[in-house]
Amino acid sequence: MVENQRVVITGVGLTAPNGDNLADFRKALLEGVSGIEIFKTRYMPPVPAGVCHFDPYKHQTKKQSRRGTRAGAISIYCANEAVNDSGFDFENSRRDRAGVFIGITEHGNVETENEVYNLGQYNNDVKFWTHHHNPRTVANNPAGEVTLNMGVTGPHVCLGAACAAGNIGLIYGVQMLRLGEVDFAIAGGVSESIHTFGIFASFKSQNALAVHEDPTKASRPFDMDRNGIVVSEGGCLYTLERLEDAKARGAKIYGEIAGYAYNSDATDFVLPNPARQAECMRLALDRAAMTPADIDIVNTHGTGTNQGDEQECVAIREVFGGSGAHINNTKSFIGHAMGAAGALELAGNLPSFEDGLIHPTINLDNIDPECRLDNFVIDKPVHIGSIKSIINNSFGMLGINSVVVIRRFEN
């Protein structure tokens, strides 16, 4: 691949239920520290959830935040942290050559639910309806809030891609760099989902909402005792640059985006199609000019639902059976961060290129025979020395699949 088509990660900004920066997040994953706690939501008993504890006023004032949204606050925090981490001289750069590309599951439900509830306190008199409703709920809001906060005048867009969105935000950033539309991309995914009771109620009505007397054990993908999804909020945004630009300024490079793919099942609203998932993984590998034997870590999507976990394992066995790749899962620590999931889960594995460690899967006490995979990393990290490649699975409702392949950067 010609150098101006090679895209690398130069900065990471994140907030997760168990860490507000990459170092703390990674430490929690290696030490087996869950970020799940009991959370109160409207109209329902308290539920296990992944709650982020970042400082929303680190990069914006309280007055500015009152106009915005929870998703916007997460995005602003992650974007600023990523740019700071990258060492890029953003202050003196051309802001029209930067772009913001954020994957989301949905947006606007939180603010609309709150506004409807508040209106009910005033006999539903619409004169009390907030004039901030429209800019808060338009689909481009989180990315747009970042541009307002950081003065970015290049393109911005939110990419609605269900729970595949974190990967797809990253993919879109790569594509825009390769097209020459931008020189610097802020890309990834965010989710504010725990602040809407509707998502909990909907999963509960599907018998897909996890329950456990110990919230830290509620998220247990692939385990016989799994009983559903733990809903979480979070965000992870990356700074992406063309390799030649990153090298020219002496940037630290976390990894190179070697390949990617996304496709559609076209078979069901919620039930996954393992054949299409396998096709997506193979296409990402083909674009990276790799084979399954070249992959060291497969980070699974695994959400803790019975059929979802089983079907993904069918796809992984089809592609990676006998390949020697090690398998792990990040949702067992943080729950399902929806639009942020793919981006956060990739971030949790990126430091493997430096430390040679594969973070484990926790709460996998009794693996479902239908989910048995070779080389599952369970309970404790595994050190395999040199790690050169990671494949990151992220799948979503309406049958959208996304896969990203990251390679350790080598000249």
* 180 and 280 together in one domain: no
Residue 289 belongs to some domain of the structure: yes
Tell me, what's the pLDDT at 46? Answer: 97
Residue 342 belongs to some domain of the structure: yes
As given in the structure block, the two tokens for residue 198 are 């509707």
Tens-place pLDDT, residues 33-78:
999 999 999 999 999 999 999 999 999 999 999 999 999 999 999 9
Q: Which of 219, 248, 277 is the last residue of a domain?
A: 248
Strands (E) in 171-313, as ranges, are: 184-191, 231-232, 234-242, 255-264, 297-300
pLDDT at 388 exceeding the cut of 90: yes
Q: Which of helix, strand or coil describes residue 185?
A: strand
Helix axes 341-349, 165-178, angle to 10 degrees: 80
DSSP readout, 138-168? STTHHHHHHHHHHT--S-EEEEE-GGGHHHH
* 294 and 389 together in one domain: yes
Whole-angstrom CA distances from 310 to 200, 228, 368 are 23, 13, 9
For the four alpha carbons of 115, 117, 122 and 126, in that order, the dihedral sign comes to positive
Whole-angstrom CA distances from 393 to 111, 166, 382, 384, 406 are 30, 10, 20, 21, 12
* 290 and 240 together in one domain: no
pLDDT at 1 exceeding the cut of 50: no
* 228 and 345 together in one domain: no
- Asked if residues 262 and 167 have their Cβ atoms less than 8 Å apart, the reply is yes
As given in the structure block, the two tokens for residue 353 are 């290129």
Tens-place pLDDT, residues 311-350:
999 999 999 999 999 999 999 999 999 999 999 999 999 9
Residue 235 has φ and ψ, to the nearest 5°, of: -165, 150
As given in the structure block, the two tokens for residue 263 are 């496709």
* 162 and 275 together in one domain: no
Q: Which of helix, strand or coil describes residue 333?
A: helix
Tens-place pLDDT, residues 223-270:
999 999 999 999 999 999 999 999 999 999 999 999 999 999 999 999
Tell me, what's the pLDDT at 2? Answer: 52
The β-bridge partners of 160 are: 104
Q: Which of helix, strand or coil describes residue 132?
A: coil
Residue 280 belongs to some domain of the structure: yes
Tell me, what's the pLDDT at 153? Answer: 98
Residue 118 belongs to some domain of the structure: yes
**C-alpha to C-alpha distance for 95 and 93, rounded to whole angstroms:** 6
pLDDT at 144 exceeding the cut of 80: yes
**C-alpha to C-alpha distance for 159 and 168, rounded to whole angstroms:** 7
Tell me, what's the pLDDT at 3? Answer: 55
CA dihedral in degrees (101, 107, 111, 116; nearest 10)? Answer: 160
- Asked if residues 343 and 103 have their Cβ atoms less than 8 Å apart, the reply is yes
- As a whole number, the mean pLDDT across the chain is 97
Q: How confident is the model at residue 4 (pLDDT cuts 50, 70, 90)?
A: low
Q: Which of 229, 248, 267 is the last residue of a domain?
A: 248
* 38 and 8 together in one domain: yes
Strands (E) in 34-97, as ranges, are: 36-39, 47-50
* Angle ∠(27,171,101) on CA atoms, nearest 5: 85
* 234 and 317 together in one domain: no
pLDDT at 178 exceeding the cut of 50: yes
CATH number where 275 lies: 3.40.47.10
Residue 253 belongs to some domain of the structure: no
Domain range for 27 is 3-248
DSSP conformation class of 252: -
* 194 and 235 together in one domain: yes
* 335 and 198 together in one domain: no
DSSP conformation class of 199: H
pLDDT at 191 exceeding the cut of 90: yes
Q: Which of 212, 228, 248 is the last residue of a domain?
A: 248
Residue 301 belongs to some domain of the structure: yes
* 62 and 190 together in one domain: yes
Task: Compare 282 and 1 and report the one with higher pLDDT.
Answer: 282
CA–chain centroid gap for 126, Å, is 37
As given in the structure block, the two tokens for residue 389 are 């490649």
* Angle ∠(42,49,34) on CA atoms, nearest 5: 160
Q: Does the reported pTM lie above 0.85?
A: yes
Euclidean distance between the first and the last CA atom of the chain, given in angstroms as a whole number? 13
Query: How many independent structural domains does the chain possess?
Result: 2
* 244 and 385 together in one domain: no
* 89 and 203 together in one domain: yes
Residue 254 belongs to some domain of the structure: no
Tell me, what's the pLDDT at 133? Answer: 94
